[in-house]
Amino acid sequence: MMRLLALLILAALAGPALGQDRLPQDIYASMEGSVRREYDELMQAIARGEGGPRAGSEKMQQLLKVMYHNKAVLFASCSAEAERVRSPQAPRVPAGQNLMLTTCVEEKFAELNKFSNVRSYALTFFPDRIERCGEASRLRDQEPLFPPYGFLQLAEPRLYDFSRYNECLMRP
């Protein structure tokens, strides 16, 4: 009887912890509609000729899909982390007022934005580094956890640590 009681207590304690493991994926899944709207707006702007002639190329569209996939995963991960550190007794606050969330998002998105500039520079001066650094910066363990949304249609989904990617691109 004691063993059964101990197993039930352990199962009850493990339940919330196991649920926390799925939190980033659940947040990621819930964001699909808003990410789709943002992506579609960008694609419409490109179709209207905004963004220059290269923006409509197949290679650039694939890069944009990778970036939107990564951006969604970064936001979901930041949201899950902010939820994990929130005390169960603390009231929920709107995302814009959640200091943990906004700080994480600002830091991660700054690295993502920096990547766009660093990648352009590296393509011009160090094109051989792009593939090597990309492979070294991949988050392979996370890729199966966050499949790209259907509208992104990526043959090989890739998630990156953009801080590490940027550093690698600028290092000889």
Report the pLDDT value the prediction gives residue 20, as an integer from 0 to 100.
52
Average pLDDT over residues 92-97: 88
User: Confidence band (pLDDT; 50, 70, 90) for 21?
Assistant: confident
Residue 149 gets which letter from DSSP?
P
Indicate whether 17 belongs to any domain. Answer: no
Q: Does residue 98 have a pLDDT over 80?
A: yes
Question: Mind giving me the DSSP string for 98-123?
Answer: -HHHHHHHHHHHHHHHHHHHHHHHHH
* Token pair of 159 as six digits: 């998630």
Give the pLDDT confidence of 113-167 residue by residue, as tens digits. Answer: 999 999 999 999 999 999 999 999 999 999 999 999 999 989 899 999 999 999 9
Range of the domain at 128: 25-169
Report the pLDDT value the prediction gives residue 37, as an integer from 0 to 100.
98
Give the pLDDT confidence of 32-87 residue by residue, as tens digits. Answer: 999 999 999 999 998 888 876 666 678 888 999 999 999 999 999 999 999 999 88
pTM for the model stands at 0.82
In whole angstroms, give the CA distance from residue 38 to residue 65. Answer: 12
Report the pLDDT value the prediction gives residue 12, as an integer from 0 to 100.
35
Report the pLDDT value the prediction gives residue 14, as an integer from 0 to 100.
38
Indicate whether 31 belongs to any domain. Answer: yes
Indicate whether 20 belongs to any domain. Answer: no
Indicate whether 18 belongs to any domain. Answer: no
* Token pair of 45 as six digits: 């702007």
Indicate whether 133 belongs to any domain. Answer: yes
Task: Give residue 134's Cα distance to chain centre.
Answer: 15
Q: Does residue 13 have a pLDDT over 60?
A: no
User: Confidence band (pLDDT; 50, 70, 90) for 5?
Assistant: very low
Indicate whether 37 belongs to any domain. Answer: yes
Report the pLDDT value the prediction gives residue 170, as an integer from 0 to 100.
95
How many domains is the chain built from?
1
Indicate whether 76 belongs to any domain. Answer: yes
Average pLDDT over residues 10-23: 50
Indicate whether 164 belongs to any domain. Answer: yes
